Structure 1
Amino acid sequence: MRSSNNAEPLKIAYSPCPNDTFVFDAWAHGRVPGAPALDVTFADIDVTNGIAERGSAELDVLKVSYAVLPWVLEQYALLPCGGALGRGCGPLVLTREPGLDLTGRTVAVPSERSTAYLLFRLWAADVLPGGVGEVVVLPFHEIMAAVRDGSVDAGLVIHEARFTYQDYGLHRLADMGEHWESTTGLPIPLGAIIARRSLGAEALRALAEAARTSVRMAWADPEASRPYVRAHAQELDPAVADQHIGLYVNEFTANLGEAGYAAVRGLLTRAAAEGLVPAIAPGALDFP
């Protein structure tokens, strides 16, 4: 494990969204005792998913979609903390008019490897036997405007869009999280923290402890993280940023636990059975 005063900091990439900056604030600013210094790259989830799939050594730790794990678990280990998983926090399908039939329609999604899109595909398999038409990938912060302006028929949105879509005059057609929870009884796995296995088991355990400590420090003193959150919240209203954090940073962020791992296994097993992702090897989700 690199020491905190090592000239080579740990290279990490996560989003500028409030939940990530809240979680990593203490660690990124050197307040977690004994943790390595961080060299932070802010990147959209589609970018980090791609980096992980390429197996690039340019980053040590990444925030990615749980949906990308089947392609990357040989080189990366899933950390049991730091990510986004919960209840009542699923992606939404938004339209300009209520009750739109999506059969044959164009839908914007934030990433073809995103958990949101995987949940959408599982939902569509159950409720849209005719299937949607074209799927286009857009940065998540552009999707609502694209739906509002008519360049797409519907949009799959994540994060703070849950709280702001009505400002765009849009309607919620379906909640992917509600569908997932009602059909499985499990919490919703969204974003995962992964680290290169080549770092070694001892280093991976130390990384997990640093992430867990950073989360707990943020909970203990939420005001300490506010400048970091606000600096990267893409002009979000502070109240919306607080809602975002409250929804996506929860007990599963500190520790996936039995229910969290069951949710991740359930998602990937069901998706593999539908032919949407490769099957993962036994033990691939186990933490060293």
Structure 2
Amino acid sequence: MEISVGHTPDSDDAFMFYGMFTGKVPSPDFKVNHVIEDIEKLNRKATDPQLDVTAVSVHACAYIPGYTILRSGGSFGIGYGPIVTARKQMSIDEIKKCKIAIPGKMTSAFLLLQLMIGKFDYVEMNFSDIPEAVKSGKVDAGLVIHETQLSYEQEGNVKILDVGEWWDKTTNGLPVPLGINVMKTDLGMETIHKFDKYLQASIEYGLENMDDALEYAMQYSRGKPRDLIEKFVKMYVNKVTVNMGDAGEESIRKVFEMAKEKGLVPDFELSIATK
């Protein structure tokens, strides 16, 4: 079966798909055509289902009824996640009055920050442009994701909020639900399960062949040094990535329960692949 698979130009996604896309982990069931797009573009593409399988933000699941969440391939923070940076420290009241750059309205980081501080003034931009926009004063603060969570000090900014830490404390240690992979529901649960296992095998292969998988992932390093990319990959390709388990599923359900209570997402039915 020929299927289209979308992932982001990010080192953690590349690491997960290394085994699959290089043929190191073959499949008798699938021939994969991969499409690489920024996460917010994939989120928007998924609202009008174009790809059979795609990476999306957890937040996007409120708007893509035609997809089922896979149990493998998720990006979950374990006590860490998105942060907010600025040129100087601020009080929470000052932060609420800021214009904050966000990496997209459908990103999980945006939803989590709204849950943390309430609604705020924002401007959307590509996540990689946010650090410079903060440093130059184009915006008051920036909601930072991906490897820029680790490089903000080198970029001349300071951390003023830790969204991942807030989630960890608020939920008594549930993993921070950020990104997941979804598959078209109408392909059927048998096909979904088969692909889920295939993706899981690719992730496990990467973890077992760390150096080679990291070398492959470095093509999406965006000029960051290998040690920083290795740290980032090891943060977001973890045990919950291999299989979200009960904790990962609970964290996804929890974020939408909280978001529905605050009117931040529409009422919808969540579809997660069975165990």
- TM-score range with shorter-chain normalisation? over 0.9
- Percent identity between the aligned chains? 29
Shift of 1:33: 3.0
Q: Confirm whether residue 220 of structure 1 aligns to residue 208 of structure 2.
A: yes
Query: How many Å separate the matches in 1 of 2:148 and 2:273?
Result: 33
Shift of 1:286: 4.5
Shift of 1:231: 1.6
The residue aligned with 2:105 is 112
Task: Answer whether contact 1:78 1:287 (CA < 8 A) is retained.
Answer: no
Residue 163 (structure 1) aligned to one of 129, 150, 166: 150
SS class of match (1:151):
coil
The residue aligned with 1:83 is 74
* Gap regions ≥5 residues in structure 2: none
Comparing 30-39 with 182-191, which one deviates more in the overlay? Answer: 30-39
Q: Confirm whether residue 263 of structure 1 aligns to residue 251 of structure 2.
A: yes
Q: Confirm whether residue 279 of structure 1 aligns to residue 267 of structure 2.
A: yes
Comparing 44-53 with 81-90, which one deviates more in the overlay? Answer: 81-90
Task: Answer whether contact 2:189 2:273 (CA < 8 A) is retained.
Answer: no
Q: Confirm whether residue 47 of structure 1 aligns to residue 35 of structure 2.
A: no
Q: Confirm whether residue 143 of structure 1 aligns to residue 130 of structure 2.
A: yes
Question: Normalising by structure 2, what TM-score?
Answer: 0.94
Q: Confirm whether residue 22 of structure 1 aligns to residue 11 of structure 2.
A: no
Task: Answer whether contact 1:77 1:287 (CA < 8 A) is retained.
Answer: no
Shift of 1:54: 2.1
The residue aligned with 2:116 is 123
Task: Answer whether contact 2:192 2:273 (CA < 8 A) is retained.
Answer: no
Distance 1:286 1:225, change over 3 A: closer
Q: Which amino acid aligns with 2:37?
A: A
Residue 228 (structure 2) aligned to one of 240, 254, 263: 240
The alignment yields a C-alpha RMSD, in angstroms, of 1.5
Query: How many Å separate the matches in 1 of 2:107 and 2:264?
Result: 12
Task: Answer whether contact 1:195 1:204 (CA < 8 A) is retained.
Answer: yes
Question: Normalising by structure 1, what TM-score?
Answer: 0.90
Shift of 1:279: 2.5
Runs of 4+ in structure 1 displaced over 6 angstroms? none
Shift of 1:189: 0.4
